[in-house]
């Protein structure tokens, strides 16, 4: 794909973001990838194109606050509770149309997750419907993961803690 293809896709995606009610927060162009950070409702989604591939990924990323990480660690000190917690989180994040990835700290505790879906905007048949379904699916499954945390850790604590972290673009990661 050449720069003309990339510029066409960038313009199309910017239009689609606006048309589905999203807000473009940032556009990035790095050596090996480019993409957008957008807000959809109260949540941030990254749309990333690794430059050597013909697909892009939509990513909902949740990094737990230090307070939530401490609560998860406390809960998971009991090996059985750790298994239950991780199984519940996997169950909440499992979907036939998205993939997920946990983030672990050095001690092996879950400290965040990502929900990912591929899109193919370089394909001529790619439509706003495809884009909307991808964004809705990563946000919906990501919110299910957050709701699971609320059920396990406590709704008030998660709302106060996560809302600060989820409304801003994630720190530098393998994506944007």
Tell whether 175 is covered by a domain.
no
Q: What is the pLDDT of residue 48?
A: 96
Domain count, the chain: 1
Tell whether 173 is covered by a domain.
no
Q: Report how far residue 90's alpha carbon sits from residue 100's, in angstroms, rounded to the nearest whole number.
A: 8
Q: What is the pLDDT of residue 153?
A: 84
10-residue averages of pLDDT along the chain (176 residues): 90 97 95 95 94 94 90 91 93 96 92 96 96 98 93 68 55 52
Those residues with Cβ within 8 angstroms of residue 55's Cβ, 6 or more apart along the chain or in another chain: 49, 118, 119, 120, 122
Looking at residue 63, which CATH number applies to its domain?
A: 3.30.1460.10
DSSP three-state, residue 122: coil
Quick one: DSSP state of residue 50?
E
Cα 156 to Cα 3, 60, 71, 76, 159: the distances in Å are 48, 22, 13, 20, 5
Tell whether 96 is covered by a domain.
yes
Q: What is the pLDDT of residue 169?
A: 54
Q: What is the pLDDT of residue 2?
A: 83
Tell whether 142 is covered by a domain.
yes
Q: What is the pLDDT of residue 167?
A: 55
DSSP three-state, residue 24: strand
Q: Domain range for residue 123?
A: 3-166
Cα atoms in the 13 Å half-sphere on the side-chain side of 58:
28
Q: What is the pLDDT of residue 168?
A: 55
Tell whether 98 is covered by a domain.
yes
């Amino acid at each position: 794909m050449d720069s003309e293809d990339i510029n066409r896709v960038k313009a199309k995606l910017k239009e689609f973001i606006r048309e589905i009610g999203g807000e473009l927060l940032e556009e990035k162009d790095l050596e090996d990838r480019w993409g957008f950070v957008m807000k959809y409702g109260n949540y941030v989604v990254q749309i990333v194109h690794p430059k050597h591939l013909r697909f892009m990924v939509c990513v909902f990323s949740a990094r737990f606050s230090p307070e939530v990480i401490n609560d998860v660690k406390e809960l998971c000190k009991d090996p059985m509770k750790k298994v239950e917690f991780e199984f519940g989180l996997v169950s909440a994040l499992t979907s036939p149309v998205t993939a997920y990835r946990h983030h672990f700290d050095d001690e092996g505790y879950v400290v965040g997750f990502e929900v990912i879906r591929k899109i193919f905007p370089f394909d001529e048949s790619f439509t706003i419907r495809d884009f909307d379904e991808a964004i809705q699916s990563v946000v919906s499954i990501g919110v299910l993961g957050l709701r699971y945390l609320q059920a396990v850790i406590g709704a008030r604590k998660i709302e106060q803690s996560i809302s600060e972290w989820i409304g801003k673009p994630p720190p530098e990661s393998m994506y944007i």
